[in-house]
């Protein structure tokens, strides 16, 4: 009878006990602990991917700054010009092909630029300047590309610049 108790006891422990029980006995991590480690690793991988994406954005931004420097381009923010007077701008970036104190000069350039197939916008600043903006875009990469192509146009002055509407 005693001989049969030991195998029955071992069999009942094996049947009633789980793998986690044997893992604990052996000093190994349980399935719950393994799942927590897996979740931590996934969270760390997500953080690494987010950091890589941020690094790519910064690298792209630096490349855009270098492109602008090579184009001898200037970037001005609305606040540096005193803000807008009457115009509401729908896009973040505009290529400014001319700015004048005299509204008539700005309107003449507006007509001239429209003749080249662009849809120019008259931008009125609080500091009294009237600017002609073309190629509105929302991404800086697109603004730099537009600046490159506009610089090749016959009407484009050497002091063309990018306006940032923030």
For residue 13, the Cα-to-chain-centroid distance in whole angstroms is 58
Q: How many CB atoms lie within 10 A of CB 130?
A: 22
Question: What is the spatial distance between Cα 146 and Cα 119, in angstroms, rounded to a whole number?
Answer: 13
Residue 28's pLDDT is 83
CATH 3.30.70.1070 fits 74-164, yes or no: yes
Residue ranges, CATH 3.30.70.1070, the chain = 74-164
Residue 31's pLDDT is 82
Predicted TM-score (pTM) of this structure: 0.57
Which pLDDT tens digits describe the chain residue by residue (166 residues)? 566 776 666 666 666 666 777 777 778 888 888 888 899 999 999 999 998 888 877 777 666 666 655 555 556 555 556 666 666 788 988 999 998 999 999 999 999 999 999 999 998 888 888 999 999 999 888 888 888 899 888 888 888 888 888 7
Residue 121's pLDDT is 92
Handedness of CA 137, 154, 115, 100 (dihedral sign): positive
| 27 φψ region: left (φ > 0), alpha (ψ -120 to 50), beta (else) | left
């Amino acid at each position: 009878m005693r001989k049969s108790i030991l195998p029955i006891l071992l069999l009942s422990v094996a049947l009633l006990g789980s793998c986690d029980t044997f893992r604990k006995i052996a000093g190994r991590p349980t399935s719950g602990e393994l799942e927590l480690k897996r979740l931590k690793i996934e969270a760390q991988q997500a953080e690494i991917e987010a950091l890589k994406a941020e690094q790519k954005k910064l690298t792209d931004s630096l490349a855009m700054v270098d492109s602008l420097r090579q184009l001898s381009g200037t970037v001005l923010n609305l606040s540096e010009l005193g803000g807008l007077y009457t115009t509401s701008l729908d896009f973040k970036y505009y290529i400014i092909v001319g700015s004048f104190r005299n509204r008539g000069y700005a309107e003449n350039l507006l007509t001239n630029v429209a003749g080249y197939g662009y849809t120019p916008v008259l931008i009125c600043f609080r500091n009294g300047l009237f600017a002609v903006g073309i190629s509105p875009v929302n991404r800086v990469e697109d603004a730099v590309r537009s600046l490159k192509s506009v610089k090749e146009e016959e009407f484009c002055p050497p002091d063309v610049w990018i306006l940032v509407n923030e």
